[in-house]
Amino acid sequence: MTRKNKFILVIMLLIGGLIFWWEARKIPFTTLINSFQSLKVGWLVVAVLVMITSLLIESKTVQVFLKGRVAYFPYRNAVRIPMVEQLFNNITPFSSGGQPAQLIAMMQSGVEAGQASSVLLMKFIIYQMMVLINFVLTMLFGFRHIASQFKGIALLVVAGFALHVFVIIGLLLVMYRYKFTKRLVQWFAVPFSWFAKPAKVEKFKVTMDAKIDTFYAESLHLKREKKKVIIASGLTLLQLLLYYSIPVFVLLALGETHINPLSVMAMHVMIVMITSIFPVPGGTGGAEYSFKTLFAVFLTTQGNLVVGMLLWRLITYYLGMLLGLIALTIPAKKPPIAAIKINTHKKTE
């Protein structure tokens, strides 16, 4: 980690602590202590295991895409990838640091940069598709309730949905309307040229053209490797369902047994969508506000609501950062000489 990343990590931890203090400041200390003392620890352990299992499944997705591309990539190396991703997603705006960090982690494992970029791009496409499917189902079955009770939140949900739809439309355009997409970029560059220098506009065109070319090439891989796509889609869907179920176990730990797990998961899907539109690392502020607003339906006491928010954030956000820090300290297992020779032979064919 760079000094800047370490600084941001400390800042995010301080901000998280400050938010919890702010939410808890008017609640009697004894009330908070009672909420913690009455926790059913077994359900909390389940929540933590579910979060870890979700990351382990994502590791398997990486291995699926690398199968047949590299001769050597043990599961130990694959496990490092989502852990590192979690750390850098959570300390960068719009989770922009996750992709470069995964690329470096894969290269440290002996995967060639082009191969690593290809795998990460395919993984990103599948992930976005599965997120959208989950969210569409949530909108169909749970949005009416949100819109009727939480109008402000409903607008944020719609904004998050619009952002993901925009991303998916862009991906599909490149996959199926490659030449048209390149023309679109040229058209978008016209208004950009009204307030930017010609050199900057030209750089924008070249960069976008290169990205579109790379993505189109990978989309052809996706179309050819249907079996891998189906397996990766199933794994990613399972990964997301596990992640979305974490608040269910947090509520059970707080003694809230009369809940509808599907409703709780739908709420969590919407929170994830809302936080995606906040540029602050980890959606800090927006995530806590969304949880407190939506889950007040299930947690009727202020003490349990604040404790629930803290536990949910610790498991879904800070645990990922901790695992990422641990992953950085564990070196990747280097491929044996025989595997390196096989990889070199494949490149020369």
pLDDT at 18: 93
Compute and round to an integer the Cα radius of gyration of the chain: 22
pLDDT (tens, 9 = 90+) of the chain, 349 residues, equals 788 888 888 998 999 999 999 989 888 989 889 989 999 999 999 999 999 999 999 999 999 988 888 888 889 999 999 999 999 999 988 777 888 899 999 998 888 887 888 888 888 888 988 988 888 888 777 667 676 667 677 788 788 888 888 888 887 888 778 788 888 878 887 787 788 888 887 888 888 888 788 778 877 777 788 888 899 999 999 999 999 999 999 999 999 988 889 888 988 988 888 888 777 888 888 888 889 888 888 887 888 999 999 999 999 999 999 999 999 998 888 777 545 544 544 554 4
The distance of Cα 71 from the centroid of its chain, to the nearest Å, equals: 28
* Cα separation, 334 vs 161, whole angstroms: 41
Please report the sign of the dihedral spanned by the C-alpha atoms of residue 107, residue 112, residue 115, residue 121: positive
- Name the residue with tokens 């407190």: 292
Average pLDDT score, the chain: 85
pLDDT at 348: 47
* pTM for this prediction: 0.86
pLDDT at 136: 83
The C-alpha angle 220, 226, 231, rounded to 5 degrees, equals 130
- CA dihedral 194→199→203→205, nearest 10 degrees, is 40
| Contact yes or no for 281/8 (Cβ under 8 A) | yes
* Cα separation, 300 vs 305, whole angstroms: 7
The strand pairing partners of 71, in sequence order, are none
pLDDT at 190: 78
* pLDDT (tens digit per residue) in 137-181: 887 776 676 766 676 777 887 888 888 888 888 878 887 787 888
CA-wise closest residue to 266 among 138, 92, 101, 80: 138
* pLDDT (tens digit per residue) in 201-229: 788 888 888 878 877 887 777 778 888 88
Three-class secondary structure of residue 333 per DSSP: coil
| Contact yes or no for 338/70 (Cβ under 8 A) | no
DSSP state of 264: H
Got the DSSP string for 35-83? HHHT--HHHHHHHHHHHHHHHHHHHHHHHHHHBTTBS---HHHHHHHHH
Number of Cα atoms under 13 Å in the Cβ half of residue 37: 6
DSSP state of 316: I
